[in-house]
Structure 1
Amino acid sequence: MNTPRQPTLFLPHGGGPCFFMDWDPPDFWNHLGDRLRALPGLLPAPPRALLVVSAHWETPLPTVTSGIRPPLIYDYGGFPPHTYRLQWPAPGDPALAQRVQELLAGAGIASAADPQRGYDHGVFVPLLLAYPQAQIPTVQLSLRGSLDAAEHLAIGRALAPLRDEGVLILGSGFSYHNLRAMIGGAVPDVAGSSKRFDDWLTAAAETPDPAERERLLAGWAGAPDARACHPREEHLIPLMVAAGAAAGDAGTRCYHHLLGEVTHSGYRFG
């Protein structure tokens, strides 16, 4: 039986353990939480495995988790005690980790494996909503510390065959990530700058020609208000892996919302 090709996705993962605590207003994170819960419905079939690229792990070489039972890494601070007891015991997938390394090597990209590394909150927080039963084998892939967009597009291109093997490639980040603005700092024109960048990013992601799409995304720092929205780009770079793995498939905005004054979006390819 043929396995349907999985799309690739880039979705916001929220702020820390935001979906599992009280907020004022109480519905602040509800729209995004509902979208993450609906993630399985975006797919043509249940994935056999997940490959997640989180904004919260950077290494000199792209590195995969290769353990059988990765622990959780509660890499956030100052939240209620119960948020450090969240559980998402999804199994690892050493065979998938090896396959990722083989594909990267075939593209001339050196990589590494870490059998001890666990899932950080960019993995387990959104997937605790999307797949609460934690039954799908999951591998996390790090960002390269260079945070170079073109390098991560190339990583995505190398991993594209996984989509025909039943693997969902998920970029977990945020299309807007200026923490000073998001926590109420004195940042001018948050609404305008986030919308201008979001409009540009959506047009780039939805560019029909894949080569032109990659050219635009590789040059993201020249986009309107790019550095106002991403003083540091680690939350945007997972999008590059998802877009690179799209190959010739079209990109569409699959999520869009205002979080306070901040416009932010998610994207699907294929």
Structure 2
Amino acid sequence: MSKTGEGMKIISCCSPQHKEISDNLPCCPKQEMPERELVPSIVSKVSAEWTWRDYLGQIRCRISSFRNSYAVKPGFYAVGSPDRESDIFVSANYKLSFDILRRALKGLNAWLLVLDTKGINVWCAAGKGTFGTDELIKRIVESQLEKVVSHKRIIAPQLGAPGVAAHIVQQKTGFEVHYGPVDAQDIRKYLEAGYKATEDMRRVKFTVWDRLVLTPMEMIPAFKIYAIYAALMFFIMGLKPSGIMFKDGLANGLPFIFLGFLAVL
């Protein structure tokens, strides 16, 4: 079951502490604003900075099944002090995906539209259908984006493209879907280039470092099975009519234990 990550501080941007952006938000209208411009949805402000809890959550996601419940609440968020001209970025509600995006937006004023992907990352969710056309349309309508921004542009992650029919989204909502770069770190360059991604920005890279980052997630479950295997080899090789001989178990079982270790690697 999804739950909001503990390391992320979320507060209403309509609160008195954030008057600098509340005056620009339709969800925080002044008394003289006409009724038709009011936006009933609640916008939450999040920081682009990571806390120690965010870093800890990232580590736990890499080494355990903790990632299966690491999620944020779907909805509408603000980074910095966005206004009606600010860009809208779409993300999955898998918290690590959300965190990487908000960190990449440091120094920018932007809106974040978070889809309910059941706590699954963008790429996998696009394949499963949870990061999809219907969910995107639903969030656009519920957030009443046409009252929040003056443009008709939303920026979705490129890896989510397989799940989104951009032409249907535009037909249903009027918003044009732009696909940003593969790597969130290239977002600033993408914006500076006038919402144009270079060929390099479109390429999915899988470097040695990327492989090493994923290694613990594959090895740790295997080591759990390996521990059982090693104990079993020690027991079998040390088993004698007179009982279990620890010295024999270690001497005879060590080659098999070592080979099992190499197999895990």
Looking at both structures, which has the greater relative contact order when contacts are Cα pairs under 8 Å and sequence separation is at least 6? 1
Higher strand residue share: 1
Higher helix share: 2
Whether TM-score is above 0.5 comes out as no
TM band (smaller chain): under 0.3
